[in-house]
Structure 1
Amino acid sequence: MSLRWRLTLIYAGLLGLLLLVAGSLSYGALRHTLYAGLDDALRVFAEHQAKQDATLKFEPPPQVGDVLDAINRQQPIRMTVYDAVGKVVDWGPSRVGFLPRAGTRQVGAERVFTLRTASGWIQTSQSNQGVQASLRQILHLELLGVPLLLLLALALGYVLADRALRPVDQVSDLGARIARSGHSGERVPQASGTDELARLTRTINDMLSKLDSQMVRERLFAHASAHELRTPISVIRAATTLALEQERTPEQYRDVLQQVESVSEDMSALTHRLMLLATATRPAITQVVNLADITLMVSELHATEAHDKQLHLQTTVRDAETTGDFGALVLAAGNLLQNAIKYSPPRSSIQLSCDADTVSARLTVQDAGPGIPADELPRVTQPFQRGSQTQGLSGAGLGLALVQAVAESHGGQLELFNADAGGLRATLILPRQRRIY
């Protein structure tokens, strides 16, 4: 059974139960009201007769009494006056006989009210056939109306369920198409409003957008990796092929091996950074991390490199707690500092600092290098992309890409811009509290 029909039947069942309860309560209330009205009429009639008996001492002649008895028998309410021992005194015979007990009771089809007076009893009665007819009519209407309402509820419930689940069908169909074609460029039609279905379609579209961009990055990453590895592999193959073409002296073989070793070390360093970049895109291990600790640790780890290049490393720390993977953040901060050391001229200063506000925590590295042209800033965070100012310097263009991957995995971002005084300012911005799913 489909989800639509399950929701429809559940809705119809609940509605049927509510209608049954409401119908029972309304039927009971109506029955009580009708019988209460009948009882009040009998009581008022009896009390009125009791007042007359107390104030009037009129004894009609026998002929008049017979006429009054005949009139009494034709009235809807039959009244009989008894003395203390149960003998009929006035108003003709009762339909149910003498009942020496005050109050209201049901005797067969008669509703009877008995009033105790000083001289005896006054009994009024009326058939409840009118009440029963009204109740039967209400019951028939309910028995006829409830099934019709349930059928209408089934139809409306199915329409509402179909409309509510239509975005789910669209998501399912889209997922099936993407699974068949392998293309994640399609999107679910955006539901209007701010309800759950609108949030669902927005979430699915956001997920597909991120998935699409991730797939694009992975394809570009694979092509760029193959391109970067092709050159050293070609160098190794060419060197070994030339060495094997003819006999060489030991010194020549040693030169070839040294060349292969140098290229292999470059390849090893490149593959290591590729592995770091691949692991940096994974979800971060969430723990409380203080960027002040990371700033101090990174400055100590790379102090020797800065000293060898005669660079002055200025470190300013403030408490900047966030949540994330301590090791990944140390790696990202270290890459920013290594880039600053690489591109800063000797005897210049590098400023390394961290701070925070109520929303985010920031780690900033300001170098004194040539900076990056503004039109090149968006692409230098992609793997194997380098600025035009870095020609002649070693590197594969993976440092900023790695920092960008770490920032995204932590729900943050990497901001790059050229400072007014010169040099590049790189800021790693992380949320103070990241929601964990």
Structure 2
Amino acid sequence: MKRFLRGPVTAARKDPARAAATPHGARQSPPGRSDSLWNSLSLRFKLTLGYAVIFSLSVLLGAGCVYVMAHGSLTRTLDTTLHETASLARGSILEDADGERFSDELQPPPELNIELLSADGRVLDVAGRMLTPAGSSPLPPAQRSLGMITQQGRRVLTERLPSGLLLQVSRPSDTLTALLETLAQVLLAGSALMIGLACVAGYYLADRALKPVDEVARTAATITHSGSYRGRVRAAPGSDEMARLTGTVNSMLDHLEATIERERSFARTAAHELRTPLTALQGRLELALERPREAADYRRSLEIMRGRVDELLSLAQGLLVLAETDRPAHLEPTDLTLQAAEVTTEMYELATRLGKQLDWQRMIEPLPLPQPGTRLEELPPSTLHMMVLAEPLGVRQVLRNLLENALKYGGDRVVVRVSPLSLMVWDSGPGPLMTEWARLTRPFERGPGLQGVSGSGLGLPLVLALAQRWNARVEPQWATHSGDGFGVCLSWAARDPKTMN
């Protein structure tokens, strides 16, 4: 028992003020409990609750307005009846030797009572049911105050006559009270029924509206738990926000599936392409170490292995550049003429070594290159048309890759053609088959019969990836007549010069 009491006693010693302020046996609600309870409620319940509160306030406010208007209308009707009766009673007052009295012709309905009072409140004459016997003690001042009052379940109108006497007309108000009570009960019952139906309808509508959200959540949970990204959300009917949501989610899942499949295929192919030179390098190393050899043999083996290492470095560099194309692009005005001239100059050595003729052409009259700091508005129109929004280093990479393909696999003559908003690398060869073009745009794919030619199969896919970053298009162009050659064109859409600064 001592061990059981040790915890509470220690807590009380540590915080005596808290122990004194907290009643014995009372439980304190943890902080944020109400918030966590609200957050644990479903969105359907929250929407229904909010709708019910707003609708309830509206209905109750409307019912209250109806009750107040009905009460005022019925009360005014009753008061009008009393005023009309008082006017009739004033015309029926006769004066004789005994004083003023009502005419015998004044016969009010049974529910009306008309009394003629003295100035001090004594009843002098009565028409209708007698409430106060004649000659009785005077009425208290509260019961004979002028105007319209309600007392003892009756609506009473008291007026002062020119002679100084008081005319009092009254009628029971229990009928009005009963009618208003019935109206209040009907309004309350109707309001409760409407609120209940509104809650049911609101929950039904909220449930129906949020079903696509549940479908999205279930699909996401299924993909998360199963690891299968092929599931799709059932499309919501119509063209409202939920239909657009399901369509957008399905489009996103399609894009993710295509991206994942592309990355998986890329990883498998990259592993295969890397394994081939590594296996050859390993075989060459094992062969060199198999037995002692002459220095010349070792040197020859090292030269071969260096070539394999160069292939690996080239492949790794191509993979790195291709992976970096997913980063956001930083576009800037780029002069196509300048890039074509520089890259063509760089590739002259390779063209000479392969015995190919390399040249470049500008499809408009040559103009001097713009000076540094020159604004685009100050350039001649022909020069401006050679400016595109791109990445200068990327444009050079595209030209370099296209030229390498043309020099290695194309005809004897290769030409770089610079036109307004476009670049083309043309060669005199027949080019690949039209049916092979789509395959060649995938990483590591190469043309048939070219496996013995050095290359990684990443040049053309990198060209397409960079073009997508710049919103440019890559289009192959086959000659209509045999011997006219083959070209790959990189083109941009026309832009407002002001948007290129």
Question: What is aligned with 1:111?
Answer: 155
Residue 251 of structure 1, aligned match among 296, 299, 320: 296
Q: Is the 8 A contact 2:115 2:125 kept in 1?
A: yes
| Aligned partner letter, 2:150 | Q
- Evaluate the alpha carbon distance shift between residue 196 and residue 328 of structure 1 in structure 2; reply closer, same or farther with a 3 A threshold: farther
Instruction: Indicate whether 1:352 and 2:411 are aligned.
Output: no
Instruction: Indicate whether 1:365 and 2:409 are aligned.
Output: no
What's the CA shift for 1:306?
Answer: 5.0
Mind listing any 5+ residue stretches in structure 1 that lack a counterpart?
A: 356-362
Instruction: Indicate whether 1:426 and 2:474 are aligned.
Output: no
Q: Is the 8 A contact 2:334 2:392 kept in 1?
A: no
What's the CA shift for 1:372?
Answer: 4.0
| Aligned partner letter, 2:439 | R
Q: Alignment partner of 2:442: what SS? A: coil
Question: What is aligned with 2:192?
Answer: 147
Instruction: Indicate whether 1:30 and 2:70 are aligned.
Output: yes
Deviation digits for residues 259-305 of structure 1, max 9, x if unmatched? 111111111011111011122124x15x5x34x42635633541313
- Evaluate the alpha carbon distance shift between residue 336 and residue 23 of structure 1 in structure 2; reply closer, same or farther with a 3 A threshold: farther
What's the CA shift for 1:351?
Answer: 2.3
Q: Is the 8 A contact 1:281 1:406 kept in 2?
A: no
| Aligned partner letter, 1:169 | D
What's the CA shift for 1:137?
Answer: 1.0
Q: Measure the CA separation in 2 of the matches of 1:415 and 1:185.
A: 31
Deviation digits for residues 349-392 of structure 1, max 9, x if unmatched? 3223454xxxxxxx543534544433223333211123459777
Q: Alignment partner of 1:151: what SS? A: helix
Q: Measure the CA separation in 2 of the matches of 1:340 and 1:47.
A: 117
- Evaluate the alpha carbon distance shift between residue 409 and residue 57 of structure 1 in structure 2; reply closer, same or farther with a 3 A threshold: same
Q: Is the 8 A contact 1:12 1:150 kept in 2?
A: yes
Q: Is the 8 A contact 1:15 1:150 kept in 2?
A: yes
Instruction: Indicate whether 1:127 and 2:190 are aligned.
Output: no
Q: Measure the CA separation in 2 of the matches of 1:343 and 1:314.
A: 24
| Aligned partner letter, 1:367 | W
Question: What is aligned with 2:360?
Answer: 312
Instruction: Indicate whether 1:6 and 2:46 are aligned.
Output: yes
Instruction: Indicate whether 1:401 and 2:464 are aligned.
Output: no
- Evaluate the alpha carbon distance shift between residue 117 and residue 382 of structure 1 in structure 2; reply closer, same or farther with a 3 A threshold: farther
Residue 165 of structure 1, aligned match among 210, 215, 218: 210
Mind listing any 5+ residue stretches in structure 2 that lack a counterpart?
A: 1-40, 133-138, 352-357, 364-382, 497-501
Q: Alignment partner of 1:224: what SS? A: helix
After the TM superposition, which of the residue ranges 24-33 and 265-274 deviates more from structure 2? Answer: 24-33
Q: Measure the CA separation in 2 of the matches of 1:66 and 1:125.
A: 18
Residue 475 of structure 2, aligned match among 394, 416, 430: 416
Question: What is aligned with 2:113?
Answer: 78
Deviation digits for residues 299-318 of structure 1, max 9, x if unmatched? 35413135554311427652
What's the CA shift for 1:35?
Answer: 1.8
Q: Is the 8 A contact 1:415 1:429 kept in 2?
A: no
Question: What is aligned with 1:199?
Answer: 244
Q: Alignment partner of 2:248: what SS? A: helix
Deviation digits for residues 408-434 of structure 1, max 9, x if unmatched? 567x4644231557533433558989x
Identical columns (%): 31
| Aligned partner letter, 1:252 | D
What's the CA shift for 1:170?
Answer: 1.8
Residue 438 of structure 2, aligned match among 373, 378, 402: 378
What's the CA shift for 1:256?
Answer: 0.7
Q: Measure the CA separation in 2 of the matches of 1:241 and 1:194.
A: 67
Q: Measure the CA separation in 2 of the matches of 1:83 and 1:259.
A: 139
TM-score, structure 1 normalization:
0.78
Instruction: Indicate whether 1:293 and 2:334 are aligned.
Output: yes
Q: Is the 8 A contact 1:84 1:119 kept in 2?
A: no
| Aligned partner letter, 2:359 | L
Q: Measure the CA separation in 2 of the matches of 1:334 and 1:90.
A: 124
- Evaluate the alpha carbon distance shift between residue 409 and residue 312 of structure 1 in structure 2; reply closer, same or farther with a 3 A threshold: closer
Q: Is the 8 A contact 2:335 2:388 kept in 1?
A: no
Deviation digits for residues 15-64 of structure 1, max 9, x if unmatched? 323323222222222222222322333334444556xx3xx8877999x9
| Aligned partner letter, 2:346 | E
- Evaluate the alpha carbon distance shift between residue 100 and residue 229 of structure 1 in structure 2; reply closer, same or farther with a 3 A threshold: closer
| Aligned partner letter, 1:33 | S
Residue 230 of structure 1, aligned match among 269, 275, 278: 275
- Evaluate the alpha carbon distance shift between residue 105 and residue 354 of structure 1 in structure 2; reply closer, same or farther with a 3 A threshold: farther
| Aligned partner letter, 1:424 | G
Deviation digits for residues 68-113 of structure 1, max 9, x if unmatched? 56x33x44343446688878787637888874534x3333423334
Q: Alignment partner of 1:246: what SS? A: coil
Q: Measure the CA separation in 1 of the matches of 2:220 and 2:96.
A: 98
After the TM superposition, which of the residue ranges 18-27 and 91-100 deviates more from structure 2? Answer: 91-100
Q: Alignment partner of 1:212: what SS? A: helix
Question: What is aligned with 2:222?
Answer: 177
| Aligned partner letter, 2:416 | I
Query: How many pairs are equivalent?
Result: 412
| Aligned partner letter, 1:135 | L
What's the CA shift for 1:202?
Answer: 0.6
Q: Measure the CA separation in 2 of the matches of 1:376 and 1:100.
A: 110
Q: Measure the CA separation in 2 of the matches of 1:137 and 1:402.
A: 84
| Aligned partner letter, 1:427 | L
Q: Alignment partner of 1:194: what SS? A: coil
Q: Is the 8 A contact 1:381 1:401 kept in 2?
A: yes
Question: What is aligned with 1:358?
Answer: none
